[in-house]
Amino acid sequence: MTDWIDRLPEAARTYLEGRRLDEVECIVSDLPGIARGKAMPASKFAKTKQSYLPNSIFYQTITGGYADEAENEDKGFTEPDMILKPDFSTASAAPWTGDWTLQIIHDLLTRDGKPIEVSPRNVLKRVVALYRKKGWTPIIAPELEFYLVARNVDPTKPIEPPMGRTGRRAAGRQAYSMSAVDEYGPVIDDIYDFAEAQGLEIDGITQEGGAGQIEINMQHGDPVKLADEVFYFKRLIREAALRHDCFATFMAKPIEGEPGSAMHIHHSILDADGQNIFSGPQGGETDAFFHFIAGLQTHMPSVIAMLAPYVNSYRRYVKDHAAPINLDWARDNRTAGIRIPICDPENRRIENRLAGMDCNPYLGIAASLACGYLGLLEAKRPETSLKGEATDGEEVIPRDLHTALERFGEATDMHAVLGPEFCRVYKMVKEAEIQEFLQVISPWEREHLLLNV
């Protein structure tokens, strides 16, 4: 790998210009989307022919426990190594570190060079490859919602909004307020600076409806590249917040009584000539447009466990808090789970509003694209578009993780798209997390049951 510096993206080379690289972080995404891997001196990285990680990183729950039986039902838990293969196109600065550090996302392979099926990045690559076999190129654009919150070092205490520059805590219900964004301007400035150093493009930043809630919009592009960028963004946003004595959280519902945080996903599909298959020659909506919507409506319930992966995720699906609880589709209507934004025929797209910001970006995007892919193959028509408000409609998605996993386990058509081994392991890890959650007694139970039942 002696020539690897020459293969870095322009932003990474600019970051290192006139400086000596100290360290390289070799990272991958685990199932929750946490960066796992190893750091090594740059000189060591340049000489290393092969690096490894144990496959147990994919059988670990969010608490640090393990679903041991997920590895191999016949041989037990043996933790074999996976091969790390650097994707130099993802090399990016880590500008919050004290030295000059690059982070590089790696792909994971078996000893015989096959993709590790459980790896989230490989799951998304698998879905994109299915599109490409049909001559289609999927394009996505994510919107990232998150909260800046006051430091919380005691899990028994409720999460509070951060203190702003006025000396007052951030107020809710101030959507699109420029003054609200200015309250935590220094954090936003660092987010911009870190993103620029990493070569990540921000399309816009707005104040959302929650107290200290922010949305970042990203440019549309290749699904794997955009998932890489969301993976990076989560880390840089956390680091920017820590510089200013607050936390950034991507929990779906961190503050009681405030709106939840979503990762809305916009989709369009190009044909071999680069034309949007959702628009016809005269600019009208095509059959493929309606088939994709029908795929979301038909198959989304089976992948809610990937779009809403934790018990907390389902607290976001409540009426009147800007989160859809339906699979209705509608034009320019944010109460619908599937929204058609205002756009010209060339940029016609379909927005999935059900994914929570707590989902792994690789898996959330893969799940959404998989639903659309099956819809294109099945060539069904969607239900009639919604007219008016959707909040009083029928609740058709699973409302808890246990039910969502049951639907996920039954969806054999979806397993064939996402990969059967990934689906088996994902379900077992999530079931282990439910069991861990059920062992915890909540403050609500102590308050209302201790002396009353």
Whether 452 maps to a domain, the answer reads no
Do 58 and 200 lie in one domain? The reply is: no
Whether 140 maps to a domain, the answer reads yes
pLDDT tens, 193-213?
Answer: 999 999 999 988 888 888 889
Do 111 and 138 lie in one domain? The reply is: no
Q: What is the pLDDT of residue 179?
A: 73
More confident of the two residues 275 and 1: 275
The range of the structural domain enclosing residue 236 comes to: 127-447
Do 231 and 325 lie in one domain? The reply is: yes
Do 96 and 178 lie in one domain? The reply is: no
Length of the chain: 453
Q: What is the pLDDT of residue 2?
A: 47
Is the pLDDT assigned to residue 231 strictly greater than 90?
yes
Whether 145 maps to a domain, the answer reads yes
The CATH number given to whatever domain includes residue 90 is: 3.10.20.70
Nearest to 307 by CA among 391, 390, 414, 158: 414
Percentage of the chain exceeding pLDDT 90: 76
Do 289 and 175 lie in one domain? The reply is: yes
Query: How far is Cα of residue 368 from the mean position of the Cα atoms in its chain?
Result: 11
Whether 361 maps to a domain, the answer reads yes
Domain boundary pick from 77, 95, 116: 116
Do 350 and 407 lie in one domain? The reply is: yes
Q: What's the total number of domains in the chain?
A: 2
Whether 453 maps to a domain, the answer reads no
Do 88 and 182 lie in one domain? The reply is: no
pLDDT tens, 79-94?
Answer: 889 999 999 999 999 9
Cβ contacts of residue 425 below 8 Å, gap of 6+? 58, 59, 67, 70, 118
- C-alpha pair distances (Å), 164 with each of 170, 181, 253, 255: 6, 10, 21, 17
Domain boundary pick from 84, 116, 148: 116
Is the pLDDT assigned to residue 442 strictly greater than 60?
yes
Do 156 and 112 lie in one domain? The reply is: no
Query: How far is Cα of residue 67 from the mean position of the Cα atoms in its chain?
Result: 22
SS3 8: coil
pLDDT tens, 25-50?
Answer: 999 999 999 999 999 999 999 998 89
Both structure tokens of 88: 């130099």
DSSP state of 285: B
| Torsion region of 265: left, alpha or beta (phi above 0 gives left; psi -120 to 50 gives alpha) | beta
Is the pLDDT assigned to residue 165 strictly greater than 80?
no
pLDDT tens, 240-283?
Answer: 999 999 999 999 999 988 899 999 999 999 999 999 999 999 99
Q: Please list the residues that pair with 84 across neighbouring strands.
A: 51, 108
pTM: 0.95
Both structure tokens of 150: 């006051």
pLDDT tens, 125-141?
Answer: 999 999 999 999 999 99
Do 166 and 194 lie in one domain? The reply is: yes
Q: What is the pLDDT of residue 1?
A: 44
Is the pLDDT assigned to residue 215 strictly greater than 70?
yes
pLDDT tens, 52-85?
Answer: 999 999 999 999 999 877 766 665 667 889 999 9
Q: Residue 398 CB: number of other CB atoms within 10 A?
A: 20
Do 254 and 314 lie in one domain? The reply is: yes
pLDDT tens, 314-328?
Answer: 999 987 666 788 999
In SS3 terms, 161-221 reads as CCECCCCCECCCCCCCCHHHHHHCHHHHHHHHHHHHHHCCCEEEEEECCCCCEEEEEECCE
The CATH number given to whatever domain includes residue 361 is: 3.30.590.10
Domain boundary pick from 91, 116, 141: 116
Do 53 and 185 lie in one domain? The reply is: no
Do 202 and 324 lie in one domain? The reply is: yes
pLDDT tens, 351-406?
Answer: 999 999 999 999 999 999 999 999 999 999 998 888 877 766 667 899 999 999 99
Nearest to 371 by CA among 354, 386, 356: 354
Whether 61 maps to a domain, the answer reads yes
Whether 122 maps to a domain, the answer reads no
